[in-house]
Amino acid sequence: MEVISRATDIQRQFIRLRSGGLRVWVGVIASLGVAPLLWVLFSVTQSPGDILQHFISTFAVDYLLTTLSLMVLVVSGCLLLGGILGICVARLDFPGRSVFRWALMLPMAAPAYIVAYAYTGLLDYGAPLPTLLRDWQGSFQIPEIRSLEGAACVLIAVLFPYVYALVLAAAVNRPPSLTEAARVLGCSPWRVLWRVELPLLRPALAAGGLLVALETLADYGTVKYFGVDTLSTGVFRLWFTLGDLGAAMHWGASLASFAIVLMFLQFLLRGRETRFSARTLVKSVHPLICPSRWQAWVIACLCGLTLAVTFIVPVGYLFWLAALSAGWKPEYSSLIMNSIALAGLVSSVAVLVSFTWIVMTRRDQGLHAPFWSLGKNILSLGYGVPGVVVAVGALGVAGHVDAGIEGAAASLGIEPPSWYLVGSMTLLVWAGVLRFLAVALRAVKRGIEGIPRTLDEQCALLGHSARQVTWRLYLPLARPGILAGVLLVFVDVIKELPATLVLRPIGFDTLAVRAFEFASDERLADAAWPSLIIVAVGLLPILLLRPGRRGRAA
Amino acid sequence: MLFRVIAVVLMAWSGIAQAAELNVYSSRKQELVAPLLDKFSATSGIKVNLITAEDGMLIQRLKTEGKRSPADVLLLADAGRFELAAREGLLKPVSSPAITAAVPAFLRHPDGLWVGLTQRARVFAYASERVKVDELSDYLGLADPRWKGRLCARSSTNVYNQSLTAAMLAHHGAEKTAAWLSGMVANFARPPQGGDRDQIKDIAAGRCDIALVNTYYVGGMLNSQDPVEREAAARISLFFPDQSGVGTHMNISGAGVAVHSRNNAAALALIEFMLGEESQRWYADSNFEYPVRPGVKPGDLLVKWGDYRRDSLPLKTIGDFQQQATMAMDKAGWK
């Protein structure tokens, strides 16, 4: 009796947090962390100034329509391409299937703006290929690449792997019971595909589509380079061309609200999806449909063509440019160091914050679980908000913090500290963490969720304190998830452009920034090497985190 | 490697510039100023940190940084931008006999808030095969319907076009300029995109017949390492507009000292260095810009283009009309 009550005591002590005071502190710190986003959102309450009125009356509707058209085009293209390829790889047998399974993720490695540079070099009006075609065929003209349609094509090329991965995962993880039942009831394999599989994929498609929509909304480099005016470029225009930071924040707030609505929809749909994907310990095996020989080759060609157009051609062209160019510049080394330093800092902080949050969530179950999940959702908001909006908010908050510190120092009669927030690395790291925290949270959550709770309780019974459990149980077992989180955030920061462009400290350039500047200055050959390095770094998670590699939680 | 990374991070963290360091904020591209800055470092021993960004971004950054800004010297590529910076209180006056001797009065601010380092003209580049010289007259002529579908332009967010529009506002007033802008937008062969080099390449490719470009881009392309650029530049000709009117639109690239700079002596030394004979000759020879220092001859290419009537509108006026110009371009639909 005494043993049981002592065990219950230990469990209660360990599993529950000591006091609610900690929750309050955590809430306060988390709110401070998310301050830049809250700052931007609250700026909607201020009345629009003259400049914003002028902007709304001239260009705003145009920008909005362009953005919406772009999103519709990109989402439909990605759903079509990603959905078809995902189903084919998951359910059909065709030559090269095992290679294409992971290879079709490769286009995700290259950021959209780099693919944009490559295709501009290849297909722009004055480029060799179109000129040759024009000389040869006279009236035949390749459609203008620097247009809305061109930007849509480039974004589809880079974003379809998101839909593809979600569809593939959903199809593979689903237990075969439903399809087996359909077969038993007499459906042919194709009929099963059409009437059972596809409808079941709707949640995955919807989630993928929303993710693609968010990424399209956040894109800056591609649309700026192609001269397509979207809501993101509008923020830059209001801020730097028309010179009104308040108007830019106001505009950014509407952009952020739009993104948050989309994110909310995505959360809802994620919940629906779990209905159909029961997690089983046994890996579900689906029998593959064997199409006829020519059908199989058609599918293989489709996959090959997609890979060629979306990845091999642009990267190959960049290699060719790099070979032609002046060669390795000494500044590239400092660019690499800067990018690595920034990405390393952001990913470490993001994973640290995520790990702390997830561990505290795990230990504080029961009544308080909604607090932690709401907090997690709020922390994840930054992912859907475009980078430039996060930057605007960060600068606004930082300016006031600096003014506050100065004011405090003045009233105390002491010299203000020489360190300041605006233009510092801290601000850039903060904005980066805010932007990519969702990625780290997701990866670390996957890692820790896999640890059965019985292990926690066994450790408590054996007399370990909470801290020992964290170090000796969670950390080693969740290591794949933690490392995946570090890697994914690292790569995202290397590719990030708008926030870095705005917030970087003096003299601090990253690969993405210089590649953008070179390309904008019509020096694609000099942009080649930085772009290739970014793509190479982007390949790392795809190659290291492949589903199918043993012992890795994807 | 780890220590180097930490060192980079710590250095970037600290805000104060060390005594023998100069922070230069430049809207001119790195390749155009870095050689000069390196030479300055070598001769004076002062380390120069360069940050490049678009001029609008630089000015906003200076405003946000406020008193804690580490900026010492501001290198901008347009007088209008300098006037904006001056109005925002971002510059401090400098004067020295070396500057007064090197720069004519109309190319620097009367109180010494900024000085011009080079001059450039915004001229017509046209396809010599498809356009006759007598069709070209002045800037207003670009709105003529005969150029429909034959005009290439870069975006209205670019400061060179904004300054030209500001000058037009100063000379011709709001109504005439609005009509001119609408006429030009109607003549565009394609939506505004790319830089000046892109416009020249499009003319060479036959996409359009005429465009507005800065003179130094043409020089740069003619001497480029890229054969495509060289060929494109060889196929266009230059026309200096409005010779019978007020003259061709001129602008400067220049330098100013940031108002909160803590390195006044070093900043002044850099500006005087850039106005020295050697630097001015480098600008003339390597960058194909017109030097400001009297007595320094422009390079051979510029001499070949010949002398021409220059618009003597005070550059300060361009700055005064800049915001109005931007809004006028927006209203006319120039993207």
Give the model confidence (pLDDT) of A257-269 as tens digits.
888 888 888 777 7
3-state secondary structure of A547: strand
Write out residues 161-220 of A within 8 Å (CB-CB) of B: none
Q: Which residue has the higher pLDDT, A34 or A547?
A: A34
Quick: pLDDT tens for A322-359: 887 767 888 888 899 999 999 999 999 999 999 989 88
Kindly indicate the confidence band of residue B16, based on its pLDDT and cuts at 50, 70 and 90: very low
A272, pLDDT greater than 60:
no
The whole-model pTM stands at: 0.81
- A227/B335 touch (CB, cutoff 8 Å), yes or no: yes
Mutate to test the interface with B, among A65, A424, A522, A526 (most CBs of B within 10 A): A522
Kindly indicate the confidence band of residue B21, based on its pLDDT and cuts at 50, 70 and 90: confident
B193, pLDDT greater than 70:
yes
* pLDDT given at position A549: 47
B249, pLDDT greater than 60:
yes
How far is B208 from chain A, CA to nearest CA, in Å?
A: 11
A138 in contact with B at a CB cutoff of 8 Å?
Answer: no
Q: What's the mean pLDDT in A538-552?
A: 66
How far apart (Å, rounded) are the C-alpha atoms in residues A374 and A364?
14
- B205/A402 touch (CB, cutoff 8 Å), yes or no: no
- Residues of chain A with pLDDT > 90, as a percent, come to 20
A227 in contact with B at a CB cutoff of 8 Å?
Answer: yes
B20, pLDDT greater than 90:
no
How far is B101 from chain A, CA to nearest CA, in Å?
A: 33
B7, pLDDT greater than 60:
no
B262 in contact with A at a CB cutoff of 8 Å?
Answer: no
How far is A424 from chain B, CA to nearest CA, in Å?
A: 6
A553, pLDDT greater than 50:
no
* pLDDT given at position A326: 65
A124, pLDDT greater than 60:
yes
Q: Which residue of A has its CA nearest to B28?
A: A521
A1, pLDDT greater than 70:
no
Q: Which residue has the higher pLDDT, A241 or A162?
A: A162
How far is B306 from chain A, CA to nearest CA, in Å?
A: 28
- A241/B68 touch (CB, cutoff 8 Å), yes or no: no
A101-110, A166-175, A340-349: which has the minimum mean pLDDT?
Answer: A166-175
Quick: pLDDT tens for A60-96: 888 889 999 999 999 999 999 999 999 889 888 888 8
- A419/B12 touch (CB, cutoff 8 Å), yes or no: no
Kindly indicate the confidence band of residue B240, based on its pLDDT and cuts at 50, 70 and 90: very high
Selecting from A240, A424, A522 the residue whose C-beta is nearest the C-beta of B57 gives A240
Q: Which residue has the higher pLDDT, A107 or A20?
A: A107
Helix axis angle for A511-520 and A524-544, nearest 10°, is 140
B89 in contact with A at a CB cutoff of 8 Å?
Answer: no
B133 in contact with A at a CB cutoff of 8 Å?
Answer: no
Quick: pLDDT tens for A354-400: 998 988 888 877 777 788 888 888 888 888 888 888 888 888 888 88
Write out residues 335-354 of A within 8 Å (CB-CB) of B: 337-338, 340-341, 344-345
How far apart (Å, rounded) are the C-alpha atoms in residues B308 and B120?
12
Q: Which residue of B has its CA nearest to A52?
A: B327
Q: What's the mean pLDDT in B103-123?
A: 88
Residues from chain A contacting residue B195 (CB–CB below 8 Å): 520-522
* pLDDT given at position B2: 65
* CB-based contact B162:B156 (threshold 8 Å): yes
Buried b (16+ CB within 10 A) or exposed e, A322-331: beebeeeeee
3-state secondary structure of B232: helix
Q: What's the mean pLDDT in B267-275?
A: 92
B214 in contact with A at a CB cutoff of 8 Å?
Answer: no
* pLDDT given at position A462: 86
Query: Interior CA angle at A285 toward A281 and A288, to 5°?
Result: 165
Q: What's the mean pLDDT in A195-200?
A: 82
Q: Are strands B210-214 and B151-152 parallel, antiparallel or unpaired?
A: parallel
**Identity of the amino acid at A87:** I
Mean pLDDT estimate for chain B: 86
Residues from chain B contacting residue A406 (CB–CB below 8 Å): 67
A550, pLDDT greater than 50:
no
* pLDDT given at position A57: 78
Q: Which two three-digit tokens encode residue A49? A: 């100034």
- A345/B9 touch (CB, cutoff 8 Å), yes or no: yes
Residue with tokens 């490697």, as numbered in its chain: B1
How far is B139 from chain A, CA to nearest CA, in Å?
A: 23
How far is B335 from chain A, CA to nearest CA, in Å?
A: 8
Q: Which residue of A has its CA nearest to B208?
A: A125
How far apart (Å, rounded) are the C-alpha atoms in residues B287 and A131?
30
How far apart (Å, rounded) are the C-alpha atoms in residues B305 and B240?
9
Torsion over CA of A177, A178, A183 and A188, rounded to 10 degrees? -140
- Residues of chain A with pLDDT > 70, as a percent, come to 90
Quick: pLDDT tens for A427-450: 999 999 999 998 899 889 888 888
How far apart (Å, rounded) are the C-alpha atoms in residues B313 and B106?
9
How far is A138 from chain B, CA to nearest CA, in Å?
A: 13
Kindly indicate the confidence band of residue A160, based on its pLDDT and cuts at 50, 70 and 90: very high
* pLDDT given at position B42: 92
Residue with tokens 């890697």, as numbered in its chain: A487
Contacts of B245 (CB under 8 A, 6+ apart): B138
- B323/A505 touch (CB, cutoff 8 Å), yes or no: no
Q: Tally DSSP H helices, then E strands, for chain A.
A: 29, 0
Q: What's the mean pLDDT in A38-45?
A: 81
Closest of A168, A206, A187 to residue A286, by C-alpha: A168
Q: What's the mean pLDDT in B100-121?
A: 87
- B68/A326 touch (CB, cutoff 8 Å), yes or no: no
Residues from chain A contacting residue B53 (CB–CB below 8 Å): 501
Q: What's the mean pLDDT in B143-161?
A: 90
Q: Which residue has the higher pLDDT, A466 or A312?
A: A312
Contacts of A473 (CB under 8 A, 6+ apart): A451, A455, A456, A459, A464
* pLDDT given at position B258: 93
Q: Which residue has the higher pLDDT, A501 or B2?
A: A501
